[in-house]
Amino acid sequence: MIHQFKTVLAYGASEIVIKKSRFIGHVKPIQSEEEAAAFIEMIKKEHTSAAHNCSAYVVGERDQIQKHSDDGEPSGTAGKPIMEVIKHQGLKNVAVVVTRYFGGILLGAGGLIRAYTDGAVAGIAAAVPIHKVLHRKIVVEVDYTWYGKLENEFRNHSLMLGETLFTDKVTVACFPLEADAEAFIQWMLDLTLGQCVLTAGESEYRNHKIV
C-alpha cells in the first residue's frame, strides 16, 4: 500500500457555460474499473438528452487502469483533455464525466479542448480534492492517572484520534502515520513507564484536507 495519494472526497458536480453550450463536470471517487463504468453509465442515463457525455478515469495505486472516451466529439478534443486534468492534478481512483448540452455555436477543436478541460476542473473542485494518508490504528489502554498526561501530549502533537472510552480504564483509539507506528508504540511505553496496554490494529487510509 502506498503511504499517500490524492483523490476526491465525494461525488461533486459543477456547470459552466461556454458560448451557450452547457458543460457539467461530474466527479466521483472510485475503487475499481467496474465502479467507474457504472458511474459513467449512470450519468449517461441521467443526461440522455445531452449531446455528449465524455469521460476519463484512473484506477489503481500505480494508475494501472486509464481510459477515456470522446463520446462522439472529434477525436482528442474531450476524453484526452479530461484525462490530462486528472493527471495534472495527480488524482488517483477517480472518474470524471463532462456532459455537454450543445448551445448551437461550434467551438472548434481548440475551443472544445479548453471547454472540456474547464468542465473537468470545475467538477473536481466541487468533489473536493483530498489526500488519503495511510495510518495505523493503535488502541492505548491506561489507568486514569496517566490519562491527563497522554491527553496533553496528544494535543501538543496534533495526533489523529478516534473514540475514547471511559470504563475501569481509559481506552483511546489513536491513528499515527503508518510510517511512525513503531515509534509511536515506543513513545507510549516511554511516557507511561511501560504501564499501558497497546493493541495494534489494521492499516487504513484517513482523509486529510489539502491546505
The four Cα atoms 26, 27, 30, 36 give a dihedral, to 10 degrees, of: 30
Judgement on whether residues 74 and 144 belong to the same structural domain of the protein: no
Q: Are residues 73 and 172 in the same domain?
A: no
* Domain shared by 90 and 146, yes or no: no
Residue 211: the pLDDT is: 80
How many domains does one find in the chain?
2
Burial class (CB in 10 A: 0-12, 13-18, 19+), 96: buried
Read off the pLDDT of residues 51-74 as tens digits, 9 standing for 90 and up.
999 999 999 989 999 999 999 999
What pLDDT does residue 50 have?
Answer: 97
Amino acid at 184: F
- Whichever domain contains 115, its CATH number is 3.30.230.30
Could you tell me if 141 and 123 lie in one domain?
no
Express each pLDDT in 151-161 by its tens digit: 999 999 999 99
Structural domain including 40 reads: 4-127
Indicate if 50 and 154 belong to the same structural domain: no
- Residues 30, 122: one domain? yes
- Asked whether 23 and 119 are in contact (CB, 8 A), the reply is yes
pLDDT at 6: 97
Domain boundary among 127, 156, 180: 127
Q: What is the pLDDT of residues 137-151, one digit of tens each?
A: 999 999 999 999 999
Asked whether the predicted pLDDT for residue 1 surpasses 90, the reply is no
